[in-house]
A and B are shown apart, each in its own frame.
Chain A
Amino acid sequence: MTTLLKAHELRHSFGATPALDGVSLEVRRHEILAVVGESGSGKTTLLNVLAGRMNADQGTVHYHDGANLRSLSELGERELHRLQRARWGFVEQNPRAALRLNITAGGNIGERLMAAGDRHYGNIRAIATHWLEQVEIDPKRLDDLPMNFSGGMLQRLQIARMLVTEPELVFMDEPTGGLDASVQARVLDLIRSLVRRLGLAVVLVTHDIGVARLLADRLIVMRQGLIVESGLTDQVLDDPHHAYTQLLVSSVLPA
């Protein structure tokens, strides 16, 4: 059994506009699944529902906790929060939304460890230092405030904060969307190597099909709340079948 997350017939509307119009999918252990589509296609709503950050009007999300497949709606709020704080991670497009800018870089990382139950100060400091190195931030910055960090560093700090509990499933919403191209390459490369090394499963929302091609094993193309096409990333991008996917692929300027 390698299914980690399973969504069935998700439906959700904002007013009269359907954001999810019957979406089903599975995420397998160690797999990177990209969700691409234009603004308003429902991809961010899908990510939030999968991550247990909002409830869909209809449909179910099940998570395999190692022993059983359990419905998110049947987990209590406490248990869901425990999952989100330790075994899952979320990377926001804007790191300022996830980090606390008025406490130190080390404090930001330590906070998540403490929320997951670690209380030993020396441990927390050593682990925070280790993860700063993993995301290529000089450990000397451990006691600096992130408000003085560049956008790329903030994003890497957010990734370190999320990885410190060694999650098995990570949700990413346009993780390089707000970064300059030169910084973007570094963060992408970092995500690519960490994800492979740690064996993470990732659900990645992006409108950038270059990012999807670089990172994802599988790809889902969404439009108007529906999955219009899915498959192996290179197959969907090199041999797109749906009219919308053909438009998406042909609209990209070659680098």
Chain B
Amino acid sequence: MNQPMLHARGINKSFLLHLQGGVRLDVLHEAELAVGAGECITLAGASGTGKSSLLKALYGNYLVDGGEILIRHLGQQVDLAAAAPELVLAIRRTTIGYVSQFLRAIPRIAAIDLVAEPLVDRGASGHEAKLRAAALLERLGIPSRLHGLPPATFSGGEQQRVNLARTFICPWPILLLDEPTASLDTTNRNRVIDLIREVKSQGCAIVGIFHDPQLHDAVSDLRLLFSESTAHSRT
């Protein structure tokens, strides 16, 4: 692999729960991961072994206690683990996209506007952004009669596809995917697989948590197995 897009090393993370009598949960211990352009790494292992925590740390959503998260951001290498909030926000605007398991719906905002918003933030006209949002929603099987409605009332699978569309509408050098097909049927899962393969072929570096074996087999290049000891081993 030439220079990785994302290289995390020596990652330690624990939670100190003050309200539970100061219990300390050690979640990640010296975790390491590197992913290059056009490559997809999956985090595998039982629930509670720290997969989601690592993914959240890679997005700056969890603060790590130690280690580096080196990222290629606008042609330069930066350490997300040591970055000030403004830099983390800038990285999230242009370099790292993240698809969470659940859509955080915003009251009153229509699905199509929610999906178009990241493009508008990047300077696209409202009209162009909406056209692209509509096309992507259609591609993900969300019929146009739903586009104008706020997604709070959508089914779990529909919300998940709106969530995916909101991220996939922009090109990202790095994508973090947390179970993007958990509530989808086979047809829709296959649509998402196509989409992931497409961005991968365009050079996107992907780190994902995929419990779905079909999705995993279709897109993953390398599997990192997480275990109770929280350090991973390669398979």
Would A189 and B108 be within 8 Å (CB), given that A218-B85, A246-B17 are in contact? yes
Query: Contact between A247 and B107 (Cβ–Cβ < 8 Å)?
Result: no
Stretch at the interface among B59-67, B68-76, B159-167: B59-67
**Which residues of A have CB within 8 Å of B85?**
217-218, 231-232
Query: Contact between A246 and B61 (Cβ–Cβ < 8 Å)?
Result: no
Chain B contact surface mostly? mixed
Nearest-neighbor residue (CB-CB) of B56 within chain A: A238
**Which residues of A have CB within 8 Å of B146?**
none
Contact with B along A27-45 (1 / 0, CB 8 A): 0100100000000000000
Q: Residues of B within 8 Å of A, CB-based: how many?
A: 19
Would A235 and B63 be within 8 Å (CB), given that A246-B17, A246-B19 are in contact? yes
* Min C-beta distance of A230 to chain B, whole Å: 9
Chain A contact surface mostly? helix
Query: Which one of A186, A217, A232, A250 contacts B60 once the chains associate, using CB atoms below 8 Å?
Result: A232
Measured CA separation A185–B63 after assembly (Å): 30
Measured CA separation A58–B214 after assembly (Å): 63
Query: Which one of B19, B61, B106, B107 contacts A250 once the chains associate, using CB atoms below 8 Å?
Result: B19
Contact with B along A204-236 (1 / 0, CB 8 A): 000000000010011000000000000110110
A53, CB-defined interface residue at 8 Å: no
A252, CB-defined interface residue at 8 Å: no
Measured CA separation A214–B62 after assembly (Å): 18
Measured CA separation A30–B86 after assembly (Å): 11
Would A235 and B61 be within 8 Å (CB), given that A185-B108, A188-B107, A217-B89 are in contact? yes
Query: Which one of B19, B86, B109 contacts A247 once the chains associate, using CB atoms below 8 Å?
Result: B19
Query: Contact between A189 and B63 (Cβ–Cβ < 8 Å)?
Result: no
**Which residues of B have CB within 8 Å of A232?**
60-61, 85, 88-89
Query: Which one of A28, A241, A242 contacts B63 once the chains associate, using CB atoms below 8 Å?
Result: A241
Query: Which one of B15, B18, B62 contacts A243 once the chains associate, using CB atoms below 8 Å?
Result: B18
Could you name 20 residue pairs across A and B whose Cβ atoms are closer than 8 Å? A28-B86, A31-B86, A185-B107, A186-B108, A189-B106, A189-B107, A196-B121, A214-B106, A231-B63, A231-B85, A232-B60, A232-B85, A235-B62, A235-B63, A235-B88, A238-B61, A241-B16, A243-B18, A243-B19, A247-B18
